[in-house]
Structure 1
């Protein structure tokens, strides 16, 4: 087999059924060999831009929990995916990106569409490889796939020169690798300290994040919380890791977290932090974060342990190995006084949706109405901005991998293509995109991809005629001097209709409910524009650099 043919053979053996990308000269042998494969089970989904390809792979990987495959050509094709790699790296999403490269004989000569993508991508991925010999093809691809999924997941890059794609490779036989989970080194003194903290705590809190989702350990978290009767607060990446409607759930904490979640972590005397990295959007002012708490931090990535917040006990390891031990260790408790305090906070500081002007609908109300039309296995994908925070606060997600969003990088333009990729992995379940008009237009060209492949996503565009979150910051912290935030938008419904996609535009609760009922009877992609107030602000909000106790409620 040629290098290109062997690449697909290896990826097929690893379970690949779909690849997202844009063809180009340096990757064309790989594209051609995919077209000529006999009984080919791999579908090639061609997006309109490489940035969308990598985000689509990201969405696919978040739903399946397995590495997704993306493909780009050399030069500008490769540079167009770097934002998507940053997004996936920050949020721990496993992707294997194949980038074409000029022939090895031309590397370093400033050849047409040459860029040093091997070195350019290295800082924003777990690892990059450049294949320099056909004998390396199989081994590099297998190692790349394993690297993407091992430990803390993340994206990897394989630079694949064009001449290597044509060359004949030595014989190869697939040897499946066994799943490996490192054992936790249970030191007696550490165990004794953990048990002491658990036994003596009066105000414990579970603080969970994307690591619980990645490891699939949500059931262990639930068992710990229920036995210990411990409140649970989650990060943006942890939405769905603990059921939103569970009586122990406090919702999201951090900059736009609930008042009671933020005050619970500030008043806790024990924090069990699982699969989190103490991001600045969660901690607020570091030297005033959780001032009275002992912290037990469990994280697979050693670099995150005590990086920002010193842990009293820092445990590097896989949650799948460690949490069963915690299930055995936590004592049965009621924590009645702690819960009495929290319930009083909930009563006094509930989420308060803003009132909308006459003839419009408040965005949180949109979330509540959309929520009534969601099933437990439906997948919600958001863009980035105000709607993203309202979705995290008001939607009820009961299962992991049913809420996809760009957390660490905050990448506008992520949601639309990620929703496309998610739908290829959703196995018949509905995928709902919630997008602000500003973020949606970052990858607006993918309307053509949705139409071409008849991807049956609900595209719900919340149109406030601008970049709402930037507008909010300008209003609150920059003297209401608005600049660069107001947008001249297209008619989103007519644009969708130009691609043969049905669409609706609404600006009232009644019209929204009626439109959603109609959408449930339609097969294929649908556009729904919801015109929302231009001057809405997301609350609660902790101003940047302030402690979590300083919550603005609007």
Structure 2
């Protein structure tokens, strides 16, 4: 045993568990923690931001780009509360983020005496936003609790966890037994009997379909193998973008997938909530659904599937692919049908959203195949969900159902820290970008080479459109007064420019990627066509005669 402070023990265990970067904003409740971190900066790099929300968003981007745990450290009370939008987004997109926060003095917790940054029950808030949260009470308890946090991050459905520690506890010293081994994920064996039943049902299907979500990231090889055996279209929701190459002949996005859903007899759903399909598009007795999910509660949350398989997507799909050949039937002409449906959907998208498509094509051309695009709640981002071709896993990052306006730029910084040799482009509207625009200072200070594109239209564009269309043009609180974005970027010491066409945008993005440093591109746009008619699709089951 060594005599260590709680902070020293915690930092040591973060290092043991592979944390090489801490996104942080220091403060008095964490002074002892940062003093301990000072001695380990050769192993753990601190990246400090200008606002706590950015610390958490950057940790989120790091986790989403890698699929590996990340961590952020902030002070309690308002510091922690500033991170909760990012924490709830991490929960929504199943990202393994560790929130590490300070606390007031241990003896004062819960007494409501009015100390700096005191909350009535911070731990309760943490527990409401994560899959697990606890408090570190002593130096000796720190190693086991840190490892327990990582075990929870790695096991089952990956979601955020949190730990808090009082300011006097961080500094307290005592004999500590450090653990030498990192936490390991709980075993998740393949349900062979359920896989066999799924292989039989899929093999006998006439019009099978596959739907993949974020839980299938990393399992693309097996998805492709099964799809090609079945001649089945693979619909990638926005969290499933990149599970298979978007150029694959069987890969489809929502507008084409919608038609296949209406005609499918068996659907294999992997790592997806299947929310729009089941709640909006509809189900009926003629549709048999097979669900594979690591979270047992997800399987029948909305609708009881024909077969529910709890398991890791990669291992379960590998077993399913091996068994399917013995049960599979021949299906003639489905690949041609998929190609025709994809072509018709692409034509509709281009005719409906021509301006957005031109800009997205310019971005796609400028980014290499492994380049990462971070979307936003913006007109370009909405279209990108189904119109931006994604070629590799974890290269299209989206906030999922949380729909977190303003998440994009700071999240992209974390993705770039995680993947320093991979180009990262953030797309935002002028409304969302200003939520974290101050983090251009963070990008400049730490040399984080994200290319940020701001599509500026002088409004919260979606809000304005709804007010115009649904409320007789009674627009209110939706117009924006913007800074000169080029001058703003330059004032932070980063490269900045303005473009006025898709061609100019593609050239500017390619230039920013080649230079390697942080860059801001202002791209003024007018009011863009409405993408929602291609997103909120009506019920198409049961099929009407």
TM-score by length of 1: 0.91
CA-CA distance at 1:500 after TM superposition: 1.3
SS in 2 for 1:97: strand
In 1, Cα distance between the equivalents of 2:141 and 2:93? Answer: 29
Question: Paired residue for 2:539?
Answer: 547
- Please identify, of 108-117 and 412-421, the stretch whose mean Cα deviation from structure 2 is larger: 108-117
Determine which of 457, 473, 495 is the counterpart of 2:466.
473
In 2, Cα distance between the equivalents of 1:485 and 1:139? Answer: 50
1:327 counterpart = 2:324: no
Determine which of 281, 288, 296 is the counterpart of 1:302.
296
Question: Paired residue for 2:7?
Answer: 4
Question: Paired residue for 2:35?
Answer: 32
Asked if the contact 1:284/1:542 (under 8 Å) is kept, the reply is no
In 1, Cα distance between the equivalents of 2:224 and 2:174? Answer: 50
Change (3 A) 1:385 1:284: farther
Asked if the contact 1:57/1:70 (under 8 Å) is kept, the reply is yes
Determine which of 424, 427, 447 is the counterpart of 2:440.
447
SS in 1 for 2:175: coil
Question: Paired residue for 2:266?
Answer: 270
Question: Paired residue for 1:88?
Answer: 90
In 2, Cα distance between the equivalents of 1:351 and 1:58? Answer: 34
Change (3 A) 1:231 1:455: same
CA-CA distance at 1:170 after TM superposition: 2.3
Asked if the contact 2:377/2:432 (under 8 Å) is kept, the reply is yes
Write the mapping of 1:375-394 to structure 2, written as runs, cut at 5 A: 375-394=368-387
Change (3 A) 1:549 1:467: farther
Q: Which runs of 5+ in 2 are unaligned?
A: none
Question: Paired residue for 1:285?
Answer: 280
Question: Paired residue for 1:173?
Answer: 178
In 1, Cα distance between the equivalents of 2:152 and 2:69? Answer: 10
CA-CA distance at 1:38 after TM superposition: 5.4
Question: Paired residue for 1:261?
Answer: 257
1:316 counterpart = 2:310: yes
Change (3 A) 1:532 1:353: farther
Question: Paired residue for 2:476?
Answer: 483
1:19 counterpart = 2:22: yes
Question: Paired residue for 2:47?
Answer: 45
Aligned length: 532
Q: Which runs of 5+ in 1 are unaligned?
A: none
Change (3 A) 1:520 1:297: closer
Asked if the contact 1:456/1:525 (under 8 Å) is kept, the reply is yes
Change (3 A) 1:452 1:207: same
Write the mapping of 1:10-409 to structure 2, written as runs, cut at 5 A: 10-35=13-38, 37=39, 40-107=42-109, 108=111, 109-115=113-119, 116-176=121-181, 177-187=183-193, 190=194, 193-213=197-217, 216-251=218-253, 253=254, 258=255, 260-280=256-276, 282-285=277-280, 288-289=282-283, 292-331=286-325, 335-349=331-345, 350-353=347-350, 362-409=355-402
In 2, Cα distance between the equivalents of 1:161 and 1:528? Answer: 43
Asked if the contact 1:384/1:405 (under 8 Å) is kept, the reply is no
In 2, Cα distance between the equivalents of 1:5 and 1:224? Answer: 49
- Please identify, of 228-237 and 361-370, the stretch whose mean Cα deviation from structure 2 is larger: 361-370
The one-character-per-residue Cα deviations of 1:97-139 (angstroms, maximum 9, x if unpaired) are 1110011122123322111210112111011101222221111
The one-character-per-residue Cα deviations of 1:489-515 (angstroms, maximum 9, x if unpaired) are 111111001111111111123433443
Asked if the contact 1:363/1:532 (under 8 Å) is kept, the reply is no
Change (3 A) 1:442 1:38: closer
Change (3 A) 1:110 1:17: same
SS in 2 for 1:93: coil
The one-character-per-residue Cα deviations of 1:445-472 (angstroms, maximum 9, x if unpaired) are 1111111112111011111222222333
In 2, Cα distance between the equivalents of 1:538 and 1:181? Answer: 43
The one-character-per-residue Cα deviations of 1:259-279 (angstroms, maximum 9, x if unpaired) are x21111121111000001122
In 2, Cα distance between the equivalents of 1:548 and 1:414? Answer: 33
Asked if the contact 1:463/1:532 (under 8 Å) is kept, the reply is yes
Q: Runs of at least 4 residues of structure 1 off by over 4 A? A: 177-180
Asked if the contact 1:435/1:460 (under 8 Å) is kept, the reply is yes
TM-score by length of 2: 0.92
In 1, Cα distance between the equivalents of 2:489 and 2:423? Answer: 19
- Please identify, of 518-527 and 471-480, the stretch whose mean Cα deviation from structure 2 is larger: 471-480
SS in 2 for 1:28: helix
CA-CA distance at 1:193 after TM superposition: 3.6
Question: Paired residue for 1:423?
Answer: 416
Change (3 A) 1:226 1:342: closer
Asked if the contact 2:249/2:338 (under 8 Å) is kept, the reply is no
What root-mean-square deviation, in Å, do the aligned CA atoms of Structure 1 and Structure 2 show? 2.2
Asked if the contact 1:132/1:164 (under 8 Å) is kept, the reply is yes
